[in-house]
Structure formats: structure tokens, C-alpha cells
Amino acid sequence: MSTTLVIVESPSKAKKIQGYLGSGYTVHASLGHIRDLPSTKAEIPEKYASEAWARLGVHVSDGFKPIYIVPAGKKKVVSELRALVKKADRVLLATDPDREGEAIAWHLVAALGLKSGFERMTFHEITKEAIQAAAQHTRPIDYALVGAQESRRIIDRLLGYGVSPLLWNSISSGLSAGRVQSAALAALAHREQARMAHVSAPYWRVTAQIGNQKLFTATVLGVSGQRLATPKDFDPATGQLKTDALVLTAEQAGQLVTFLKARPVTVLSTECVPYSTKSPAPFTTSTLQQEASKALKLSPKQSMDLAQKLYEGGHITYMRTDSPSLSDEATAAARAVAVAAFGQGAVPSNPRTYAAKAKNAQEAHEAIRPSGKVFKAPETTGLASDELALYDLIYRRTVASQMLDLTGMKTTLILKAGAVQLGAIGRTVTEPGFTRLYQDVQEGEGEESQVLPDVQQGAALPVRDAKAEEKKTPAPGRFTEASLVRALEKVGVGRPSTYASILSTLDHRGYTRVVKRQLTVTWLGLLVSAYLAQACADLVDVQFTAHMEAELDQIAEGALKREAYLTRFWSEGFARTIAQAPQRAPSVPVPRVPGAVVTVRAGEVILVMNGRTAPLPVDLVPDELTPEVAADLLVGKAPPKRPAAKRSTAPRKKSGKTSSTRATRKKSTT
């Protein structure tokens, strides 16, 4: 009897597919990649160990030939697969239908020593029909696509292992740089610098409570035809007014309140326009992380760990995806839930479809959704606590994606009291649509969602109360872990499988800290970012990945040769930049402390001011370095303690440590 070995990436997928293909097929998982460039010196094969180029794992001057090894953790799965290959007379490489999957298929051919009798099998849906059809309609491996993946891998290696040593030289041993992490760090550093440079300006906001029965809030827009200043009217760098808007003094604000309380307002104009809010798309990895962060206060890592459990338990589809699209069966299931709960009118007559808008999306999987042809209601899953909460979020989001848009009317009233002009905005909902099931957690609600009375032009309304509040123009907000992921996804940096790990890399290197769910950058992070911006400007350019992707697409289409691209990119580009990079420690100014700079000496981050130096505490967030704190540090006083920001692990655990201590011990005993 003949048997066919089918190799997929994930074990839960293997189990399901085995059921659909039945006897005659053996389905086994590769657990992702099975070969890679050597990551440490110890992994370099002996025959290359003495070669200088082997440090990179890529023979640059010999056509950028990579050295591939089977990492220690993957030896077991490779030998299992080898044994299965022996028993099979045909192998179907059913890894994911994307660039990385194509490469895994090719690595399997190489690592398992397949000579013939192998084919590539791809599918976008795990249903019995789709799988059986896919097993019949196989194709050869797409070597151009594999070449694009190898180019991506080589670029990331050359950049990462080429640039990181510059940091060891100029800043501190063990630091790292890379295409993805350095772009993420640059975004954080840029935002933190804008915050530090921000000069806030005070302004007054005057509001009145108006109405006969139900009161509504109106805001003073202007006086005698001159507009009242709002945050947009100030230059964030100086705090100075940059338009001709009116900034009230405290006294004027008080007078305005008294004036308003003393007389009714008349309606100058009313405007009523329809508005709508589109149903949200089903979850991708990135949007799941954002919503779980807002609604459930989970970090991206926590969300992914929970989603992994839900996936393994058969509750949801695959959780690492960049596609918001639903299969036909899932669309029908979502509509069925909506109709059962809210009636036939809850869904549009034509099912909604969603396509990826993220750059660089590969769409190998469908959206994250409840599994199966019929969605299990959350309360019938047997799940509890956080797992239940996350499943419930996914369930409601998926069903909501198939429901009607929210529609309503937006009303704007313009009012006047003497020379004072006021405005009020209100909304009424005519069709709640998807919001019956799924409410976005939104900021900036309040006044915008009030209901305004139905009044005519020229009508007079009593003012019940008025007040003036002193406000300050806000500094740009910090990223959260989830909002950084969203920002990276938007420019195509990182992949669903790496979003959570990018954050942990930044944390482990000491570049960032999470403080009260906000992602803050440390002084070390600012120094590294400043150094890279100066030494390797291309690396921190947000467009870098987008440009790379465009070239990789050309390689995949056969329009560009791998070696030509890598030569232009590396030998004629980054290799030169790296050779010319400065070897000095970077220093960055402290915006609010004139004459002070932060730099690094002997691997330690220090503050330098007036010829004196002081080490900076690791947990001192950059914008907490005020003139007072700086003065205290320089006379050796510790800054005021606050609850320590937790760091997940001790700095830099070294995997090579055991072998090096063993070597030292051996030497000392001889």
C-alpha cells in the first residue's frame, strides 16, 4: 500500500488535516522553520569556523552564499521526518502559502535529502473539500519565491550582525540593532523627544449648560467675531500662539461666565447631517492585540498566549494572520448568529467581505474567528476567565463584522449671547447596527454623544449654568505596546508572528520600559537611537522595509536577480556605511536642562553637566530628568523613589555562559 507524507507547519493543523485525508496519508508538523543561519559562534560548522566571513553566516564575496544548519532544538523533528520519509513514497510539502512557507518547503527538501517524488501543496482554508482538492492539485516549489525569502533572511542577518557590533564599540556590549527593532525604537524615541520638547500653553475653555428641560453643553467658540484659541492654535515647540485666535486671561474668562449666566442664548443656526460608522473588520493579529489591550487590558504577549490556548483547544482559527477575510462558511455562521439574536434585518442583504489593507500582507490564513461552521456561543464553550473574555471578544467582533453599519444624525447648533458665539454638537442613533453587539472602547465620548433638543432658528434658550476651565495643551501621548504594533504594521514593519517578540526584545535590551501600560523609552534607548540615526540613517528610516519589500517582490517575480540586489544593498551600500561609522559614544541633549547632556562611559549611562558627571538610574524615564533631578544627581543624591517598573528578566542572560565558564575553570585547574 502506498503512503503519502504530508508536512505542515503546525501540529493542530496536522491533526485536522489527517482527519480529512484519511488512510494512505501521514500528516506531520515541521514546527516552523527547520534550518537557519548559525546564530552563535558555537553553531558555525567546523569547516568554516576559521573563516572571517563565517561570523555572519553568509559568504558575501561568494555570491552571498548562506550557511544553513539545523539548530539544536530542531534536530528531533528533522529526524522524525526523515524516518517518515523512508516509509513514504511521495511527500507533499503543505507549509503555509506565503514566502516563509515556500522557504520552509525548500529547506525540508534539502534537510530531508529528497531527490524526487515531492510536490508543493497549498490551501487557504481547512475544510475537507479544500484539503482534498489541494492534495490533488499540487505544484512544484517556486524557487523564485524561495529566493526572495533567502534575500530577506540575508539582509536581516547582515544588518543585524553588521550593525550591532557598532553599538558594542560605541555604547555597551551585548546591545542590538536590526531592521525591525531599530525602526520601532526610532518611532518611540521620536515620540519621546517630541514630548520632552513640548511646551504646553494654558488656555481657557468656557462652557454653558443650556436648555428648558434636558440640558446640553455648549462651548464658547468666539467673542465679537474673534475665535477662541484651542490647542491647535499653539506652537508645540514654544507654547506660543501661532494664529490670531483669542487667548483669554483668567479675569476675562470669569467675566465671560458672569455674562453668560445673566441672559438667554438665541439659536443662530441648526444643522443636521447623517453620519455612519462602518462595522469593524474581523480580527487580524494586530487588531486583536489592540482591542484586547483596550477592552481587556491585556498586553500583546498575554493576548497571544491566550489565543494560542484557544487555538489549540479548537475554539478559534489560527491567531497569527494579517488577513481580515472570512471564509464563506464563517461568513454564513456569523450572519446566522446575528439573525438569531437580532432578526433578519440585522445583516445587510449582501454579505460583507474584507481585504487586507496592511502593507506587505501575505494573507496565508483567514481572520481570527470562532472555529467551525457554527459558532459556539461564549457561554457554551466551557471556557473561563481571561480565555473566555478573549473568546467572547473574538466572537462578538466576528459577528459584528457582518452586521449593519451604525447610522445616525449629527446635529450642530450655533448660538449667540450678545457678542459671544457658542456651539454644541449632538448625535442621535437611528440604526445601532453592529453596536448592539460590539462597542468600541472609545475615548473622546461625552459631549459629542449628547442629544440636542429640536429647536428652530431664532429661538431663545435659558442658560442654567456656565463655567470656565483652565486647560493646558497636551504633549503628544506615549505609545502603548499595542499602539506601537499598530504603527509598525501600518508601515509594514514586522509580521504577525513577531509583533509580541519585538516588544520583548526592546525590553530585554533595556531600551524600553512599560510604566502603567505606557511604553516609555529609556535614556539607553535614546542613545542607541541617536547613534543609529547618525551612523546608519537608512536603518531607522520607516520606509526602509517598504522599499525592501518592493525589491523582494521583484525577486519573487523573477524580474530581479538576488545577487544583484544584495550587492547593491550591501557591498555598495551598508557595508560601506558600517565601515565609516563613528566609534565614539553618542550623546543627547536634555531638553529641559540647558547645558546638560546624557552620554555613556564604560558601558554606563551618565549625565554630564558643568564639567561634572553622575550615573543615571536605569529606571529614570527621560522626561523625569528635570533641572531639580539633575542637580540632585550631580551632588550624589538619589532621585525620589517610585514603584519600580518591573523588568521581565535580569539583563542579558547569556546562553554561551555555561560553556565559557567551563572553559575558564578548565584553564585555571591546569
Quickly count: other Cβ atoms within 10 Å of residue 109's Cβ: 17
Q: Grid coordinates in use for 422? A: 457658542
CB of 449 to DNA, least distance (A): 39
Q: Which one of 252, 497, 554, 587 is in contact with DNA (CB under 7 A)?
A: 497
Nearest to DNA of 457, 664 (CB atom): 664
Sign of CA dihedral 37, 41, 47, 50: positive
DSSP annotation of 344 reads: G
Nearest to DNA of 183, 265 (CB atom): 183
- Residues numbered 312 to 341 that lie near DNA (CB under 7 A) are 312, 318, 320
Nearest to DNA of 610, 655 (CB atom): 655
Separation between Cα atoms, residue 607 and residue 588, nearest integer Å: 10
In 171-214, where does DSSP find H-type helix? 179-197
Q: Grid coordinates in use for 655? A: 546562553
Cα pseudo-dihedral 584, 589, 590, 591, rounded to 10: -160
**Which string of x and - marks every residue 87-116 that binds DNA (by CB under 7 A)?**
---------x-xxxx---------------
The strand pair at 597-601 and 587-589 is best described as antiparallel
Is 236 a binder of DNA (CB under 7 A)? no
CB of 49 to DNA, least distance (A): 9
Scanning 160-168, 430-438, 460-468, 576-584 for contacts with DNA by CB under 7 A, the matching segment is 160-168
Q: Which one of 18, 20, 26, 31 is in contact with DNA (CB under 7 A)?
A: 31
- Residues numbered 626 to 655 that lie near DNA (CB under 7 A) are 652, 654-655
Separation between Cα atoms, residue 104 and residue 569, nearest integer Å: 25
Separation between Cα atoms, residue 404 and residue 401, nearest integer Å: 8
CB of 61 to DNA, least distance (A): 18
Is 170 a binder of DNA (CB under 7 A)? no
Q: List the Cα angle 562/568/570 in 5-degree steps.
A: 90
**Which string of x and - marks every residue 451-490 that binds DNA (by CB under 7 A)?**
----------------------------------------
Can 318 be counted among the known catalytic residues? Answer: yes
Q: Which one of 122, 181, 289, 303 is in contact with DNA (CB under 7 A)?
A: 181
DSSP per-residue letters across 632-650: HHHTTPPPPP-PPPP-SSS
CB of 293 to DNA, least distance (A): 20
Cβ–Cβ under 8 Å, residues 593 and 630: yes
Q: Grid coordinates in use for 611? A: 564639567
Scanning 36-44, 441-449, 521-529, 617-625 for contacts with DNA by CB under 7 A, the matching segment is 36-44
**Catalytic residue selected from 161, 203, 311, 318:** 318
Q: Which one of 15, 51, 110, 168 is in contact with DNA (CB under 7 A)?
A: 168
CB of 180 to DNA, least distance (A): 3
- Residues numbered 503 to 522 that lie near DNA (CB under 7 A) are 505, 509
**Which string of x and - marks every residue 127-156 that binds DNA (by CB under 7 A)?**
-------------------------xx--x
Q: Which one of 68, 124, 138, 174 is in contact with DNA (CB under 7 A)?
A: 174
- Spatial CA neighbour of 123 closest among 250, 3, 249, 8: 8
Nearest to DNA of 24, 643 (CB atom): 643
Separation between Cα atoms, residue 230 and residue 598, nearest integer Å: 35
Cβ–Cβ under 8 Å, residues 603 and 615: no
CB of 306 to DNA, least distance (A): 13
DSSP per-residue letters across 456-475: -TT-EE-EEEEEEEEEEPPP
Q: Grid coordinates in use for 432? A: 445601532
Cβ–Cβ under 8 Å, residues 88 and 114: no
CB of 380 to DNA, least distance (A): 25
- Residues numbered 543 to 572 that lie near DNA (CB under 7 A) are none
Nearest to DNA of 437, 581 (CB atom): 581
Nearest to DNA of 179, 562 (CB atom): 179
CB of 573 to DNA, least distance (A): 17
Separation between Cα atoms, residue 583 and residue 579, nearest integer Å: 10
Q: Grid coordinates in use for 468? A: 470656565
Q: 525: helix, coil or strand?
A: helix
- Spatial CA neighbour of 518 closest among 479, 469, 486: 479
Task: List Cα–Cα distances, 262 to 255, 266, 384, 437, 466, in angstroms.
Answer: 11, 13, 58, 45, 10
Separation between Cα atoms, residue 244 and residue 330, nearest integer Å: 56
Q: How many residues bind DNA (CB under 7 A)?
A: 60
CB of 481 to DNA, least distance (A): 16
Is 42 a binder of DNA (CB under 7 A)? yes
Residues with catalytic roles: 318
Binding residues for DNA (CB under 7 A): 9-13, 29, 31-33, 36-37, 39-42, 55, 96, 98-101, 152-153, 156-157, 159-161, 164-165, 168, 173-182, 308, 312, 318, 320, 362, 494-498, 502, 505, 509, 652, 654-656, 660, 664
